[in-house]
Amino acid sequence: MTETKTYTGGCHCGKVRYEVKADLGRVMSCNCSICSKTGSILAFVPKEQFTLLQGEGSLTDYQFNKNVIHHLFCPVCGIRSFARGVGPGGKEMAAINVRCLDDVDIAGLSITQFDGKAL
What is the 8-class DSSP label of residue 8?
E
Reported confidence tier of residue 2, pLDDT bands at 50, 70, 90: low
pLDDT of residue 26: 86
- What's the CATH fold of domain 4-118? 2.170.150
Using the predicted structure, report yes or no on whether residue 93 has a pLDDT greater than 90: yes
* Structure-model confidence comparison of residues 97 and 34, the more confident one: 97
Give the DSSP per-residue string, 26-79: SEEEE-SHHHHHHT--EEEEEGGGEEEEE-GGG-EEE--TTS-SEEEE-TTT--
Strand 70-73, strand 60-62: pairing:
antiparallel
27-78 confidence digits (pLDDT tens)? 999 998 888 899 999 999 999 999 999 999 989 998 888 778 899 999 999 9
- pTM, to two decimals: 0.90
Would you state the pLDDT for residue 103? Answer: 94
Residue 41 CB partners (closer than 8 Å, separation 6+): 27, 28, 29, 97, 98, 99, 106, 109, 111
Q: Which residues contact 31 (CB under 8 A, 6 or more apart)?
A: 113, 114, 115, 116, 117
What pLDDT was estimated at residue 1?
44
